[in-house]
């Protein structure tokens, strides 16, 4: 299986390392607007350097990974979809909603195999949390991503990254959707004070309240004011059950006492690529976050960001009609296609 990469930065290097560790998978090549980055990745993991996405696609990849920063999504995906090539996209799938809705509609029309890098869903403790919650409705969830500003130039600019909730806390929001259900309404506040980084215009901290369609309530806290990653995860309360879930493990407390189940984040990062590759090869069917599912997480993250920006509550679509909305008309589909 020959994989092409669009983008050659930090996460692309991780995928290149994981993918080339699989049997019968190799890099066809990579393209990046910074040719030096593409060269460095190809020198380490193999494959050719292509001047652009068109040339990469012309070489006939079996799958393409789109690993660009949030603001750069859109054109690469459109070209990959037009070529009918299975596509893995890093989260967040875009900086805005229009791009994500448009790409989702194109994916659906093409019937394309997709995957998105929400690798937390491959933590075995997430399955354990789902099992524990299967017969106990969640009453409350408290999610948090309390961290530093990551060392990439585009991160602290709202129009480049979407801000900390969209860019980072999206992993937590994705798990919140999985474990608690769809959010009907959010109200959020940002502090309006950017972190001390050149050109920053994002909020340093954001606090949101979430009202779920099920009646559950929750909160999300995001911060980028530290110099270390302090905490990323969620607390879930159901009747007689408290779960504390992070990338490195799950702590369960119930009437029988407390137990901790460790987890391996690296294993989840390998599993997300393994599941996509197997699905493309037709030997597996365990892609847990195809593009349409990531779109729903993107809508939630952007609703939190919008509420923090405007100071007003934002309602979200929660029924089946929420699947694909505005962009469907743009690409000439009916909503039940
Ligand atoms: N799932 C995860 O665990 C995880 C981890 C890290 C990063 N990410 C996500 O991956 C994305 C990229 O992050 P990163 O850390 O690799 O960033 P990065 O800045 O290290 O790399 C991005 C690369 O994309 C290139 N690029 C920008 N625009 C491009 C375009 N139009 N065409 C081709 N290349 C382009 C840049 O030159 C750069 O080399 C972000 O959205 C981030 O959230 C996900």
Higher pLDDT, 332 or 213: 213
> Which pLDDT tens digit goes with each residue over 91-116?
999 999 999 999 999 999 999 999 99
Whether residue 334 is predicted with pLDDT greater than 50 in this model: the reply is: no
CA distance 47 to 39: 9
Ligand 1 atom 1, closest CA? 117
Give me the helix-helix angle, 265-281 and 10-20, nearest 10°: 70
Average pLDDT over residues 69-97: 98
Please state the atom number of ligand 1 nearest to the C-alpha of residue 34: 37
Whether residue 9 is predicted with pLDDT greater than 50 in this model: the reply is: yes
Please state the atom number of ligand 1 nearest to the C-alpha of residue 8: 39
| Residue 226 three-state SS | coil
Average pLDDT, the chain: 94
Whether residue 244 is predicted with pLDDT greater than 70 in this model: the reply is: yes
* Residue to mutate, 51, 68, 169, 264, ligand 1, most ligand atoms under 8 Å from C-beta: 68
pLDDT category at 324 given cuts 50, 70, 90 is: very low
Please state whether 311 falls in left (phi above 0), alpha (psi between -120 and 50) or beta: left
Average pLDDT over residues 147-160: 97
Q: Determine the distance separating the centroid of ligand 1 and the alpha carbon of 227, expressed in angstroms.
A: 21
Instruction: Please name the helix (run of DSSP H) or strand (run of DSSP E) that holds residue 249, with its range, or none.
Output: strand 249-254
* Residue to mutate, 32, 74, 93, 170, ligand 1, most ligand atoms under 8 Å from C-beta: 32
Average pLDDT over residues 257-267: 98
Q: What per-residue confidence (pLDDT) applies to 333?
A: 39
Q: What per-residue confidence (pLDDT) applies to 325?
A: 46
The string over 219-234, giving b where at least 16 C-beta atoms fall within 10 Å of a residue's C-beta and e elsewhere, is bbbbbbeeeeeeebbb
- Ligand 1 contact via 91 beta carbon (within 6 Å): yes
pLDDT category at 337 given cuts 50, 70, 90 is: very low
């Amino acid at each position: 299986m020959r994989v092409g990469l669009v983008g050659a930065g930090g996460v692309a290097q991780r995928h290149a390392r994981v993918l080339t560790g699989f049997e019968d998978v190799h890099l066809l090549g990579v393209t990046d607007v910074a040719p030096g980055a593409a060269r460095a990745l190809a020198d380490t993991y193999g494959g050719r350097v292509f001047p652009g996405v068109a040339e990469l696609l012309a070489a006939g990849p079996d799958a393409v990974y789109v690993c660009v920063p949030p603001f750069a999504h859109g054109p690469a995906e459109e070209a990959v979809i037009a070529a009918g090539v299975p596509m893995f996209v890093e989260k967040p799938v875009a900086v805005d909603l229009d791009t994500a809705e448009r790409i989702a509609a194109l994916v659906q029309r093409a019937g394309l195999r997709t995957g998105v890098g929400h690798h937390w869903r491959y933590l075995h403790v997430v399955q354990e949390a789902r099992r524990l919650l299967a017969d106990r409705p969640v009453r409350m969830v408290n999610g948090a991503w309390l961290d530093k500003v990551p060392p990439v130039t585009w991160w602290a600019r709202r129009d480049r990254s979407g801000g900390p909730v969209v860019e980072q806390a999206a992993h937590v929001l994705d798990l919140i959707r999985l474990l608690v259900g769809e959010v009907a309404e959010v109200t959020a506040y940002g502090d309006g004070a950017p972190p001390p980084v050149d050109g920053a215009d994002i909020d340093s901290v954001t606090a949101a309240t979430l009202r779920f369609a099920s009646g559950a309530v929750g909160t999300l806290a995001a911060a980028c004011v530290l110099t270390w990653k302090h905490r990323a995860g969620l607390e879930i309360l159901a009747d007689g059950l408290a779960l504390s879930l992070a990338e490195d493990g799950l702590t369960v407390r119930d009437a029988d006492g407390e137990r901790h189940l460790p987890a391996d984040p690296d294993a989840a990062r390998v599993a997300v690529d393994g599941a996509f590759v197997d699905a493309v090869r037709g030997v597996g069917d365990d892609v847990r976050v195809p593009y349409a599912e990531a779109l729903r997480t993107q809508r939630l993250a952007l609703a939190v960001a919008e509420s923090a920006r405007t100071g007003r509550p934002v309602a979200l679509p929660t029924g089946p009609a929420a699947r694909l909305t505005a962009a469907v008309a743009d690409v000439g589909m009916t909503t039940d296609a």
